[in-house]
Amino acid sequence: MTVPFLFLFIWCGNAFSDDSNIQDIYKIRMENRLLELEAKAAAKPVTYVVLDLIRKKMYLKIRGVTLKEFDIADSDTIGIGQLDEFYSLVTVKAIFAPKRKEIKPPAQKKEEKPASTTQEADSYSVGDMPSNYTLIFDKGLSISISQHFKGGFLLSILNYINKKMGKLWNSSKLLWSHLKKTPFIKILVVMSKDDAHAFYWALPEKADFIIIR
């Protein structure tokens, strides 16, 4: 149960095994590849991320245990490649990146008191995290996380424009990369504002990503 989507994959794999066509072999090989990647990631005592574009979910996992599940409102992939390997997070770019607050010790000595009273306010909380940011990986992959605007008709138009402009920009980048013969894969992920904040907060440095699509 800790890896339900993988179980489903195996089940699907078994179901497909009676069919003998190239597509089935391709699918089961992909499942095998993803399982191998997960086995490698789970062998390390650090959190890793499984981005499942088929089920529109993002899983934060460790040792095969799902720590947190994020819902994806919408997604799109632009680029060339199979995405059947590990991608290590290199950096996260955000326009409004959060800044840590410094504790300023009092200038004058005072009576000793129990610790933890000075930092009641101004802590660095999940709400301070950005909701629009880009994860840059090795091997030419980047994942753009953006906020899904919920509300009336106007906000749904905003979501649509946001998506189309993103697609245009990334399609242009794909053409440019194709001409330069450099790898380019861009995944656009739209999440709720809270999930986007929480994912940024929980994102481990240099995390390994496994992508299912």
Positions in 87-146 near other proteins (CB under 8 A): 100-103, 105-110, 112-120, 122-126
Site map for other proteins, 32-61, x if CB under 8 A? x--xx-xx--xx-xxx------------x-
Binding positions for other proteins, 153-212, rule CB under 8 A: 164, 167-168, 171-172, 174-175, 178, 197-198, 201-202, 204
Q: How far is the CB of 2 from other proteins (least distance, A)?
A: 5
183 touches 81 (CB < 8 A): yes
Residue closer to other proteins, measured from CB, 64 or 136: 64
Q: How far is the CB of 156 from other proteins (least distance, A)?
A: 20
Q: How far is the CB of 100 from other proteins (least distance, A)?
A: 5
Q: How far is the CB of 114 from other proteins (least distance, A)?
A: 5
Q: CB under 8 A: which stretch of 25-33, 87-95, 133-141, 145-153 binds other proteins?
A: 25-33
Which residue, among 35, 53, 51, has the nearest Cα to 43 in the 3D structure?
35
Cα separation, 29 vs 26, in Å, equals 5
Q: How many other β-carbons are positioned within 10 Å of the β-carbon of residue 150?
A: 11
Phi-psi region of 85 (alpha: psi -120 to 50; beta: other; left: phi over 0): beta
Cα separation, 2 vs 67, in Å, equals 9
Q: In the numeric block, which tokens belong to residue 92?
A: 């996260």
Q: In the numeric block, which tokens belong to residue 138?
A: 């090795």
